Amino acid sequence: MKRSEINAAYRAAAACFARHHWTQPPHPRWDITDFGLGDFPRYGLTVINLATEVEYCEKLMFAHRGQTTPCHTHAKKKEDIICRTGELTLRLWPKRPEPGTTQPATFTVPVDGQPRALKPGEALVLAAGSRVTLVPGIWHEFFPSSDDCIIGEVSTANDDLHDNFFLNPDIGRFPDLVEDEPALVRLVSEK
């Protein structure tokens, strides 16, 4: 990703957070990624790590219509994905969603703490304030179905390097950087 893209994504997320009265922590750790695909408008996510502790993690994320967080799963992490503003659509699968994989007719996930039966790959739309709980092994992708969306995540300990398993093997968790202008923020992937 070009640094100018990262700076623009930072400005857009910060403006959306400000419009919705989400105050940033004093020294936020930003994670702005195109998942190594080189197409941030289509596959991109802007994240602030609010808490990264041994036992738990909290993130505040921003995406706009047209941006998808690609299909992935976690072997260890349990997470609540929460729509904070806007509308968020998720697609979920209980098994790796690829040709030849037999999926059950339905499976159950907690939505707002209540069991909800879904068909594999069925769109689950969360309005502002709603959340879905994902246990390890649930494959998921998500994208805003509104113009902008602020997304929360509260999870068990987060390990971005070893506990993200993407359906597309070409995906990298962090972007390669092209320095075409000065950085406005330092990314978590930068030491």
Q: What is the pLDDT of residues 69-86, one digit of tens each?
A: 999 999 999 999 999 999
Burial category of 115 from C-beta neighbours within 10 Å (exposed 0-12, middle 13-18, buried 19 and up): exposed
pLDDT number for residue 27:
86
Give the mean pLDDT of the chain: 95
pLDDT number for residue 76:
96
Burial category of 36 from C-beta neighbours within 10 Å (exposed 0-12, middle 13-18, buried 19 and up): middle
- Give the residue among 137, 113, 110, 105 at the shortest CA–CA distance from 124: 110
Quick one: average pLDDT of 35-40?
A: 94
| Model confidence at 2: pLDDT above 80 | yes
Q: What is the pLDDT of residues 151-169, one digit of tens each?
A: 999 999 988 888 999 999 8
Q: CATH classification of 3-166, choosing from 3.40.50.10260, 3.30.420.10, 2.60.120.10, 3.40.630.30?
A: 2.60.120.10
- Residues 173 and 43: their CA atoms lie apart, in Å, by 12
pLDDT number for residue 175:
86
pLDDT number for residue 159:
87
pLDDT number for residue 158:
84
pLDDT number for residue 173:
79
* C-alpha 45, offset from chain centre: 6
- Residues 189 and 65: their CA atoms lie apart, in Å, by 25
Q: What is the pLDDT of residues 98-114, one digit of tens each?
A: 988 899 999 999 999 99
| pLDDT confidence band for 172 (50 / 70 / 90) | confident
Instruction: Give the residue ranges of DSSP H helices in 24-72.
Output: none
- Residues 53 and 171: their CA atoms lie apart, in Å, by 26
- Residues 42 and 20: their CA atoms lie apart, in Å, by 24
